[in-house]
Structure formats: C-alpha cells, structure tokens
Chains A and B, each alone.
Chain A
Amino acid sequence: MARTSLSRRGFIAASLLAGGGVAFEFALPLGRASAQGMDATPITAFVRILPDNRVVIGGKNAEIGQGAKTMLPMLIAEELDVAWDNVTVEQTDADATIYGAQSAGGSRTTGREWLPMRQAGAAARAMLLAAAAQEWGVPVSTLTSTQGRVLHEASGRAAPYATFAAGAASQTAPDPVRLTLKDPSAFRIVGTRVMGVDTPAITQGKPLFGIDVDRPGMLHAVLETCPAVGGRFVSANLDEIRAMPGIEHVFVIEGDGQAESLLDGVAILSKSWWSADQARLALQVEWDTRAVEGYSTQGYAKCAGEALDRGPEKTVLDKGDVATALEGARQRVTARYAVPILAHGTLEPQNTTALFTGDAIEIWSPTQNPESGRALVAAALGLEKEAIRIHFTRIGGGFGRRLMGDYMVQAAAIAAKVPGVPVKLLYSRQDEFRRDFFRAGAWHELEAGIDAAGRLTAFRDHYVTFGVDAEPSRGAEVAAGIVPANLLAHARIEQSLIATNLPTGWLRAPRSNSLGFVLLSFLDEVAQAGGRDLPALLLELLGEEARTIPGSGPREADFQTGRARGVIEKVLAMADWAGRDGLESGRGKGFGFYFSHAGYFAVVVEAQVTGGEVQVPRVWAAGDVGSQIVNPLNAEQQVRGAVIEGLGQALAGQEITQADGAVEQANFDTHPFMRMDAVPEIEVAFVPSDNGPTGLGEPALPPVVGALVNAVFAATGRRIRKLPLREEDLV
C-alpha cells in the first residue's frame, strides 16, 4: 500500500480483498472543521464489505471510555446505510499518515470527525451504487439503498452490497464535498442508544487492554525512578539484584532530564512482572536529589502567599479600566482561593510493550496521543518516525494522563537494550503517583466591584501557579476568555509563577477543572454580597439578546450567550431552583455554569451537611453540545462520570502533597476517588441547539465543584475557599 499517495486532497481508493470483499480506504479533507481553524490533518477510515454482506469498520481513535470506538463507526455506518447489527468494529493501528488525528484529548473527537466520518460512509455507499448501476444498466439516480442492500424501485430489483464488491472496487472515488449526506431526520443509527462495541468482550474478560498484550518470549520490566522527581542516578546494588532468582536483566537507564521523555532509572527485567517488582524491594539506589529536594507543599503555599502579597508579575488580560471601576464601585468583594495538586489515577497503570530490532521498533501502547509518543520515541532512540510501528490497544482510563508519551519512551529505551526481545513495561501504583503529570496547584486573589443594583461591574483575578520564565507549566494557564471576564467592560487577569520539580499535565477539563471551583464560588460570594443569587447574576451578565463573543485565541471556541442562557434556564427548571428555600435545615442547593471545550453546562448540586460530613443526594446537569447527541447511551455516562469525578475532587480528600521534593501519596487510600456509597442520583438533560455536535468527555466537569461548594454555603453559611473540603472547614 502506497501511503504517500494518501494526500491531503480528497482521496478514496477501493481494492478487492483476497476473500472477494471490497475495502474502501479514505483520506478526506476536514471541510468544516478546518474552516474553523482546528486540526486540518486528513483522516482515513477503512470499510470492508465481506462476501456474506457483513461490514467491518475501522475504529481509528483512541478508546479511553469516551466511546470513540463505537461512535465514529456509527457515523460511517449511518451514511453507508447498513444495519448496525451487521457491523463489526476493528481497532486500527496508530498511523497519522493514514488516519489523520487519532488522539483523545480536548473533547475534540466529535467536532473533528462528525463530517469526515459521515463522508467516509457516504462515499463507500456512492461507489457501491455506481457499481450496481453499471451492472444493471440503469442510471445511478434511479437507485436507492436500505440496510446494506441496493434497490431499483422501477424494476423491483434488489441485491446486497456484497454483490457489487468487485464493481465498486473499480469505481473512481467521488469528491467528498459533493456527496449528499443524510438529513438528520433520516438517521437510523446516529441518535440511538448503541452498546459499546467492546462491552461483551469486557464482560467476558477478553484481553483488550495494553496490560494484556502478550508476545512470544516477552520479558516484563519495572522501572525504578527517583522518589523526588528529577533526582539523578548515582549508584545502586545492581549486581545483587542481577543475582536474584528469576531476574534476567538489570540496567541503568540514563535520562535526558525531560519527564515527558526519560528520567534516570533502573530497569529490572524478568519473565514475571511480579518477580521483577519483588526484586525492586531489594534495590538500593543512591540518588542525587540536591536540585529538587527543596520543594514541598508548605513551600508552595508560602511562595504563593508572598506572590499574592507582592502583586502580579505579568498581566494576561486588561480590559477597560479596572482600577477606576473598582474605586467607583458601591461595594468591593475580595477573597483568596487555593486549589491543590491532583493526580490522574487511571485504573490501568501506564504500560507499553516494545520490540526493538536494531533499526526499527514495534510498539503496543494504550496511548491517548500516539503521534506525540512516536515523536518522543524517535528522538530518544534516534530512529526515523517511519521505523516506529504503533499498535493501539483499548485504554483503561485516560483523563489526560495518556496524552503524555513518557511510558512509551521508557518502554522503548528498555527494549533497545535487549534487541529482539519484546518487553512490557508496567508501572506499579506507586510508580503512577511518582511519575504522574499532575494537575497544577493554583492560588488566586480575586476582587469584584458591585454597583448599587447589585450588578457585577469590574473583576480582577491575580492567580499564582507553577511555571518558569513567565510561562505557566503545562495545563496551568488561565484563558483570557473566561466568564465573567469576557462579559464585562472592566476585567483584568494577572499572573505570578512559582517553581516546582513536579511535571504538570492535562487532567480532564484542564485549567477549567481548577478555575470552575474558584470562579463559581467567588461569583456566588459576589452575588450574595449584592443580595441576589448566582444564576440571576450570570443571566443578567449574559443579557436578554443572544450574542457571540469571540474566543480569546485560535484554540478557544466562540462563546454564545444564548446557549449559556439555554442550559442555565433548563437546569433551574429541572432542579426546582425557585423552590429551594423549602429545603430542610442543613440542606442547600448550589449552582454552577461553565463553558469549556465548546460545550455549555449548567449544574445544580444539592448538599446535606451533618456535622463535618457532606452528602450529595442529587445533582441536575443540563448541557448544550450541539444539534445531535451521537450515542445517548454513552453520552449520559460521560456526564454522570464528570459529575462524580468533580464531586470526588472536592469531597473524597484528593490532594497531592510533597516533602523533600517527593510526592507523599502512593495509592488510592491516600489519594481517594469517589466510591459507590457516595454517588448521588444524577439527572442529565441535553439542550439541542443549531450548532455542530461537539465533544462530551470534559465540559460537564468544571461547573460541578463550584456548584457543590455553593450548595455547602447554602446549607451552612460556610464558604469553602480551599480544596479539598475538610471537616474542620465545616464545624
């Protein structure tokens, strides 16, 4: 197959399969998506029609539980016009030269693939109909299709797609932009409740995940790195470990100083991962930690407090005249907030299997971001990208952790030391906490001006987070386009940075998962100070007339005030917001709204506070992610999962702390996630709007924590300005 011929132009080739079926291969331009300035890389999908008329559709994207492996093939099958029951989905390999973007990040998959995947299905259908027209000697315009069959109504002829496999294979590819796509009213698959394609295999314990990869002669590896991230290897009792039973190899991995690539470490290889991990108990490494041992939780709090006292290093946004507006305000509200460092805690630990053969490497990896990993492996091993073959596996949770490629580089570097032997690197749970890319800590000082009518007139936020040289670290930035700054005439966002040795990264709804708490709780304070409630304050800022406020950068979506109003009004009705005063003592409802990842979500949380304990009996969530929910069965799960994750961040006690440069948490007992017994009833509603469908993995999360702490305030009168919520904050 000549991959280089799959250019960025619209391109479709069809070729006969050995078994007599026909394979369609697509590289379609991104049309609408590229016009929006999003990722303009072409994509490819495979459709195979087998002799018995079964259809095999390639699922090209990373599946982390967000449903892409089911949803994208649904879009293809819809326009191909086949019965879903007749479709088998196969995971494709990771290769951007064939498939275009395959990452799972930023809730971008739905928006990016909505049109091209449908075009892929429609093009295959068009080629089949053209072949049928030739064979039957009738104009193609007289043919229709239904459920994998071609129909000629005038003569009453009908035949399955497979009949025309050979003829379709010789058709010229249609221009995708000239294809007629179905009107949504004709959808038979999209919008229906479709079970995940892997669900039966999951419930039978079939090997699907990266950890399940098994290759002949494979060795298992553990990699010990410095407890204080960035510590350098000095010496270790390597010979002693080599002599232990079952140990095949022990060697030092020399790092390049980049956490997202390679840190210094000691690799132990065995035919058994357990044996390798046991040997690690006897491993004694001397690390040089002088450069990193000074970092601690107390140190960050002290530095951040001093930075807030000192005033900002840099202004990120300066609209209108904030100083004058604040001076002229009838009332000013000021508060400081603190948000902790968090870990991802994917349940499947990071792992990758690699086979190095001298001038090439084959990799099996549960990655959210295969091309990034490929580039990192290429750089670390000095290989051409083309010499790296990457197989996708199903992924046991992403949450942004697997956007990094560190575990791929580590596995590749270990495999490169034992050419010809496949090696599976698997992290222990402690490794997960030692080598995460953490959600950054943040400290804010906020100030607001309120006029005589209780309206918000001016807003200032000085935030402190991790970073160097005036650049916030990964995932720690504050977008200039946040509500309320984008709705006010006078707004300023200021930044100061403090140093850390921890690598930071993207956690589900990056930036917004932290800002949602801070901004929504502070705005609730502002609303209370002005004698009103938060939704009233926000609706007033939005205004009656719908308008569009441009995003603050090329990657930021425009903000449509009418869509915000739509979800806010919806959730207030769902949650009987007007009747909240009738709640019993110790109960309260709190509200939150947030716009992120092109999605609009409003949430109401009901909290019951008894002594120092917070329970959440009910949550209501309303979201607008465009005109069409592709798979409602999965979509509801995404929202519920986001709600529970948000509640857990505040209530379960999640906080990464550090002493002497090292993270103090090592497992789920000290960095807990929410469990079954704390889960509320969650009512989910989607508010459709006349906008293209967008993603759902992230946007429901950011308003949740703010709504929760606002509910705690409503129940107790206590304002939570620091996470996680502790008993002493309540009694």
Chain B
Amino acid sequence: MAIRFTINGDETTLDVDPAKPLLWTLREDIGLPGTKFGCGAGLCGACTVHVDGVATRSCITPVGLIEGQSVTTIEAAGADPVGHHVVAAWCALDVPQCGYCQAGQIMNATALLHEVPEPSDADIDAAMAGNLCRCASYTRIRAAIKDAAQKAKKA
C-alpha cells in the first residue's frame, strides 16, 4: 500500500505494509538508521522522532497512521531552530556515554523546548522520564536541556 508522508522535509511515497512500525520503515526502507530500536514497546524512548512536531515513539507507531504527516528524525535535528541548540549543547557538555539512547533523548528534549522554552526541573523530569539512558547520563541531559534553552532564548 502506498503511503505518502514528509521525511525530514522531503515528500516521500512508500509501498509498505501500513502495520510496519515507523521505526523499521525509517531504518529498513528509507535508510535512516539514526533512530534506534531499544524495547519495541514504547518503554525506553530510544526510537523517539517528531511527527508533526510531537515527540512520538516510532517503534509502536504503524507507518500507515502517519499518512500525510511530517516526520523529523535525529538526522535532521540540527536543522531545527531549537534542535540546533540542543545538538550543540549535547556536544558542549559531552552528554553521550555509549550514545545509543541519545537520538531519542535529543528528539524528546527538542520537542519539550518547543512546548516549554524554559523548562523547570519538574518539567524536565515529566518530559524526559520516558527516555531511558542505561549509562545514566541524566545529570548532563538535564544540564544540556537548560543550556540549550538559554541559547535558544538569546537567538
């Protein structure tokens, strides 16, 4: 079945099983491996992308549901006016340890900052608690979100 949506700004039409999760469509059919598989059940957040700007767990989102919508992945995070600051803060603070969860963390943090430009600790806890970092880089994730918020405010 042909499904049409926008991926990182480009219109695409794919002939794919509509039940196939967006995660596997991105990785296998579109060639964007930055979005990661962690749990397959929406429990770890490693697969987080934006669908029409909303942080979405792509491992439990059938691609058929995003017909006509706009998907942004980690590969285009730096092109987003807020995401640009998030990526820069992630590098400045050297947030990643193993790095596997960080695509999801960055996408989730960017969505948070679009919604709440100057998040409190409680806002960050509430928004980021769904994103597991097995290495526990949480202290720097929190600091990087605040750093990005400051930079985005000045920009």
Query: Chain A interface (Cβ within 8 Å of chain B)?
Result: 63-67, 193, 195-196, 198-200, 202-209, 211-212, 214, 220, 271-274, 345-349, 394-399, 426, 428-429, 633-634, 637-638, 640-641, 643-645, 648, 667-669, 673-677, 679, 681-682
Given contacts A205-B75, A676-B128, A676-B129, contact A347 B101 (CB under 8 A): yes
Q: How far is the CA of A126 from the CA of B43 in the complex (A)?
A: 54
Given contacts A274-B21, A429-B39, A668-B132, contact A347 B90 (CB under 8 A): no
CB<8 Å pairs between A and B, sample of 19 = A198-B99, A204-B34, A205-B34, A205-B74, A205-B75, A209-B99, A211-B36, A272-B24, A345-B134, A348-B36, A394-B99, A397-B100, A397-B134, A429-B39, A638-B97, A673-B132, A676-B128, A676-B131, A676-B141
Partner of B28, one of A193, A272, A399: A272
User: Chain B residues near A274 (CB, 8 Å)?
Assistant: 20-21, 24, 28
Asked if B98 contacts A645 (CB within 8 A), the reply is: no
User: Chain B residues near A195 (CB, 8 Å)?
Assistant: 91, 94
Interface assignment of B56: CB less than 8 Å from any CB of chain A: no
Q: Which of B36, B78, B94, B134 has the most CB of A within 10 A?
A: B134
User: Chain A residues near B135 (CB, 8 Å)?
Assistant: 65, 397, 637, 641
Interface assignment of B106: CB less than 8 Å from any CB of chain A: yes
Asked if B100 contacts A209 (CB within 8 A), the reply is: yes
Q: How far is the CA of A67 from the CA of B99 in the complex (A)?
A: 11
* Chain A: CB-nearest residue to B78: A204
* Chain A: CB-nearest residue to B24: A274
Q: How far is the CA of A674 from the CA of B34 in the complex (A)?
A: 24
User: Chain B residues near A399 (CB, 8 Å)?
Assistant: 134
User: Chain A residues near B21 (CB, 8 Å)?
Assistant: 274
Asked if B137 contacts A199 (CB within 8 A), the reply is: no
Interface residues of B in 100-132 (CB under 8 A from A): 100-103, 106, 124-126, 128-132
Asked if B96 contacts A199 (CB within 8 A), the reply is: yes
Asked if A679 contacts B40 (CB within 8 A), the reply is: no
Q: How far is the CA of A206 from the CA of B24 in the complex (A)?
A: 16
Query: Chain B interface (Cβ within 8 Å of chain A)?
Result: 20-21, 24, 28, 32-41, 43-44, 46, 73-75, 77-78, 87, 90-91, 94-103, 106, 124-126, 128-142
Closest 9 pairs (CB-CB, A-B)? A205-B34, A396-B100, A65-B98, A205-B74, A65-B97, A644-B136, A677-B125, A202-B99, A274-B24
Given contacts A199-B91, A348-B98, contact A214 B131 (CB under 8 A): no
User: Chain B residues near A677 (CB, 8 Å)?
Assistant: 125-126, 128-129
Partner of A396, one of B43, B98, B126: B98
CB distance from A344 to the nearest CB of B (A): 9
CB distance from A674 to the nearest CB of B (A): 6
Asked if A204 contacts B74 (CB within 8 A), the reply is: yes
Asked if B90 contacts A676 (CB within 8 A), the reply is: no
Q: How far is the CA of A568 from the CA of B129 in the complex (A)?
A: 33
Q: How far is the CA of A204 from the CA of B128 in the complex (A)?
A: 20
User: Chain A residues near B94 (CB, 8 Å)?
Assistant: 193, 195-196, 199, 633-634, 637
Partner of B37, one of A67, A208, A211, A682: A211
Q: How far is the CA of A208 from the CA of B100 in the complex (A)?
A: 9
Asked if A64 contacts B106 (CB within 8 A), the reply is: no
User: Chain B residues near A203 (CB, 8 Å)?
Assistant: 74, 77-78, 87, 90-91, 96, 102, 106
Asked if B28 contacts A667 (CB within 8 A), the reply is: no
Given contacts A204-B75, A677-B126, A677-B129, contact A347 B100 (CB under 8 A): yes
CB distance from A507 to the nearest CB of B (A): 12
Given contacts A204-B74, A206-B34, A682-B139, contact A199 B90 (CB under 8 A): yes
Asked if B129 contacts A675 (CB within 8 A), the reply is: yes
User: Chain B residues near A347 (CB, 8 Å)?
Assistant: 36, 38, 44, 46, 98, 100-101, 132-134
